[in-house]
Amino acid sequence: MAESPAGRGGGEPGRVGAYGAGPGGSADGPAATTARLRLPYGIRESVPGEDRRDGPPDRTGGADNADGADEPGKSRGADPAQDPGPGEPDGRTGEAGPGGTAGSGPDGEPGGVPAPPGRTKRRRRKRGRRIAAVLTVLAAGGALAVAGLGIGDDADAGDGESAGLPPNTAKVTRQTLRDIQTADGALGYGTSATVTSRIAGTVTAVPESGKRISRGQRLYAVDDRPVTLLYGSLPAYRALKEGVEGEDVRQFERNLRELGYTGFTVDDEFTDLTADAVKEWQEDLGLTETGVVDLGRVVFTPAAIRVDGVNAAKGGAVQMGAQILTYTGTAKAATVELEPEHLRLVKKGREVTVVLPDDRRVPGRVASVDTVLEPATGQEEATTKIEAVIALSGAKAQRAAEGFSSASVDVEFVAGTRNNVLSVPVAALLAFTGGGFGVEVVSGTTSTYLPVTTGLFAEGRVEISGDGVTEGAIVGMPK
């Protein structure tokens, strides 16, 4: 195996067979290993920049000399029925020995390929055996397999097709390439959170699992007094009363105003006017009108919630810190779990596409990203995972997902984008023996190998650039 410089065009002249080794990395991607293939009998290496009008002049994969004798510097084609191919147990390597004769003995000593008996007349020129290779390309975080091609199948040279031209072609196109990475996801309502009691007493009311609760509604009750849900990102951590100042005061006053209570200014100071509004609110809830918001009487969540599960039983005793219930958001969301090296894909706010079980594609957005540490257990080592919640964007997407209570989905992340670049199918890329890559540009009945620099690999295509490579050019492809 030989290391090939990633994305570097114009290596040493010569490549491994026709369509014969795997590309490496790209100009802005990781390098990959390029396998050097052994040449079959009678096939020589092609040279970048040479014209191929009737095939290379010394390619003899299927034609014998008229007199059946070997000529200096050339290789005789081997009869597949009589002569084992490369890598078979007789030790032949398929590489040309001294004097240009293909093949060698088991110990590496020169050894020509004998002419098959009974073949002394010149046959019509035919194309040799097809040699297929597999090229493995590692680029942009994914693996791409490329089928390479050597000499064409047995076909008469006079059938209107030049013996040296590739069996298929494709055009160089100008387009936008997107490297899309897909992850498995679980459709639901996102990750759940837990509500713990800050009050000791007897649980007198709990909600049903699946119930949706919004601002100002009762979440649960202790000693027949309600605990109310309000909106905010800052958890309640102290009692709120006249003279207290802080961001938690502003958050509470904002909720009080949204519930329709007035007569105070929404700011970070709890005044006597705020206390008067609180007394009105307490009266409506059936609480003692103290003007003080006791710790534990309100729970703040970012928005309306859906009860995911209930931990406390009605009539049971509860202590401070006891779990009462778990909840999620009310909107459909997908949760994906990734390895830490894929953290770059899930930046908060990034737009993605979610493929639903019925193959409908809906827009999504990365709503949250968390690092989950899983401790070691028994023989299992501790692991670190990245958990991302993907919110489905818009009412249309929510309606599309409403029929699935829980299901597996695919989440597509755009890992990279290249706008307005030249590209060819990955299978058109050729690896040169000295390093670097190229394409075979076809013009009429001739073709020329041109070195190229590779860029992004995406959607089965590869970005290329180089002298002589233009939009609309025809390039060789394997069959």
Q: Based on the number of CB atoms within 10 Å of its own CB, is 254 exposed (0-12), middle (13-18) or buried (19 or more)? A: middle
Q: What share of the chain is helix, strand, coil (3-state, %, to 5)?
A: 10, 40, 50
User: Which pLDDT score is estimated for 77?
Assistant: 40
What's phi and psi for 371, nearest 5 deg?
Answer: -95, 125
Check residue 479 and give its pLDDT: 78
Query: What per-residue confidence (pLDDT) applies to 380?
Result: 84
The pLDDT value given to residue 62: 37
Spatial contact of 458 and 142, defined as CB atoms under 8 Å apart: no
Q: What are the mean pLDDT values of the chain's consecutive 10-residue runs (479 residues total)?
A: 39 40 37 31 37 40 38 41 42 39 39 39 35 32 35 32 75 94 93 94 96 97 97 97 97 98 97 97 96 97 96 94 95 93 89 95 94 85 92 94 90 92 95 91 93 92 94 92
Structure tokens at 397: 């997407």
pLDDT of residue 118: 39
Per-residue pLDDT at 59: 36
Burial of residue 66 (CB within 10 Å: 0-12, 13-18, 19+) is exposed
Contacts of 9 (CB under 8 A, 6+ apart): 436, 437, 438, 451, 452, 453, 454, 466
Length of the chain: 479
Beta bridge partners of residue 451, listed in sequence order:
438
**Res 405: pLDDT:** 81
Q: Annotate 211-246 with b (16+ C-beta within 10 A) or e (fewer).
A: eebebbeebbbbeebbbbbbbbeeebeeebbeebee
**pLDDT of 113:** 37
Given this model, what pLDDT does residue 433 score? 86
